Amino acid sequence: MSHPCLRCGACCAHFRVAFHWSEAEAFMGGTVPPELTERIDPHRVAMRGTQARQPHCVALQGAVGTAASCSIYAQRPSVCREVIPAWEFGAPSAQCDKARAAYGLAPLTPEDWIGPDAGEPVLPQSA
Ligand code: SF4
Ligand code: SF4
């Protein structure tokens, strides 16, 4: 069994991914590549592509619902790290369910986490 997020990616293509500008400034300790962000107000930037009518993060690779991954996984913003896939740690996630539903994907269940490869989360998400 592969990690469910690797067969999903919906939350990277459903929400605006906004965060404090300092996360994209190396001199502030930020890790997010600034060229992948755009300013939305004096305090925040967003991942490019996520402010569109149909959001799709510029860092999302692959196809939603089939095979997806984050091209900046180790450098992704805090809001992405805060998204917990439903039932990965024994709790539901309305954010995960909502994004999946937008793509016609059923909500994850506890059974989705049973298997030898159910390891690290891969595609956390958005604001
Ligand atoms: S957190 Fe949920 S919506 Fe986001 S990629 Fe994982 S399974 Fe899909
Ligand atoms: S996890 Fe990666 S692909 Fe998904 S929204 Fe965040 S930066 Fe974009």
CA of 82 from ligand 1 middle (Å) equals 12
Residue 78's nearest CA partner among 4, 24, 118, 26 is 24
Would residue 80 count as lying in a domain?
A: yes
Tell me if 88 sits within 8 A of 121, measured CB to CB.
yes
Closest ligand 1 atom number to CA of residue 99:
3
CA gap 108, 71 in Å, rounded: 23
The parent domain of residue 36 ranges over 4-113
DSSP per residue over 21-51, as a string?
Answer: GGGG-GGGT--S-GGGEEE-SSSEEEETTTT
Q: N- to C-terminal Cα distance for the chain? A: 28
pTM of the predicted model, to two decimals? 0.90
- Residue 123, in any domain of the structure: no
Residue 121 resides in a domain: no
Q: How many domains does the chain have?
A: 1
Mean pLDDT of the chain, nearest integer: 92
Would you place residue 87 in the very low, low, confident or very high pLDDT band (cuts 50, 70, 90)? very high
**pLDDT tens, position by position, 88-98:** 999 999 999 99
72 Cβ closer than 6 Å to some ligand 2 atom: yes
